[in-house]
Structure 1
């Protein structure tokens, strides 16, 4: 019986020792400590552990996020503190998030889950500029000599080079001017836009306001240039079409399109002959096909 008592006491001591080890505290501390602090352009951010951890694994869990993705930087250690310095410096006006999420392992072999997420501003907490309007609207039609107008929520940096932050495709020789105290950008062709061309434009986040705060995201859009020598095509009729595999689409009367079956084709009749490779759009997005047995006019 004394032997069993000794074994029980030994096991109890082992369990008690394990319990003491498992209940040891593991803490972290971060900088910035409070949410939405404003840091200088080159300020470092860091996380500090209450005991040494496996360094490579900790570095893989450390991220500084922005609306455009992860910010690049360099790591170094000061004792148990992991320090991150931005390379290049923080972008003015951006709201970053210091994020450390995952499991770390101490040098003693213990593992702990860490979840830190602290947002902060760089240099200023002023809001970034927004693109509030475009003329013509994305997908709209523009005259061959007309201007494209971009309207912003704040006064922009009118001294920056338009080639750095505005892309047009296909390429075009353009002029531009800032109006309304730097809040409206007017872009014109030096001669004429290419007739019947579909242009796409991109405003990059490299465009900044007068305080040096960049657009928070990229903006894109398109516009179609009208042929100045001819009026736009005119739709004369729109109705359901019943396919006749022998005669194609017979020219007969059908009910209105609002009464068409879900799988029924649509007949679009134009006032004048059109090109086969015309541009069309059906919102919301719909998988479809265009069949033109011939260049036809409306019935």
Structure 2
């Protein structure tokens, strides 16, 4: 007989922090450093046999995420413990993971935010005999995603694991939330196999506190500009309660800095205005220094957004000024 049961399920953050289930932890299971489960298999048969593990995230009895391991051998009377990091090893390597939900609205939310929305879910594991496809044991764990955190990052960046957007070397960070104060933390992504928490802890490059009515932070121009690379940032909100101060966290957002972004901006403007434009000639003759910010109607935008807008064929530049 094979027994399959859970040892530890850890899907929560710090005490009083809402549960946040990162889809990237499942899609890249074993590579994110998020140990959100532990499986203990006690194999009590006298013969070696071949198995694989199916796993599912379900909502309302509908599969949301599915996956399975490659076939592996269980030896007689073997006891093993499997955690997410086990799925990045040769023995239990993941073969197939998909966002499978047929619920269109749910799928759109997952793809746009990188996490499961509020609701009740089930995490299910099945131990399957390879030859007969018999499910010899299974384990299910219900869990709940609670309401959104009261602080959210707005820009720049995308959820961890999504294709990165490019921003200028002195970005403007914006967020929203109902907290008594805020703290922004910016980190350098040295290794995508680490979780967002690990990156912000080990590779933090800046941390700064703000009052309750501040929702924007311009990367200081007196600081050296951010060098080309990949970055992650998050806002911590502080809430005063009768029992003390509670911390809540925004979803981490990621972006990249590419080399010579100022030259790229000038190239785009030149393409739109032409080499004979008075401002273009003056910039090339006298030189220029980037402020590190691109503003549209007084709001910061990324280089990608700037390119999409300015290079549209139906966009006409009414006025251009040096500042």
TM-score, normalised via structure 2 length: 0.32
Instruction: Name which one, 1 or 2, has greater alpha-carbon Rg.
Output: 1
Name the structure, 1 or 2, with higher relative contact order (CA <8 Å, separation 6+): 2
TM-score (norm 1): 0.34
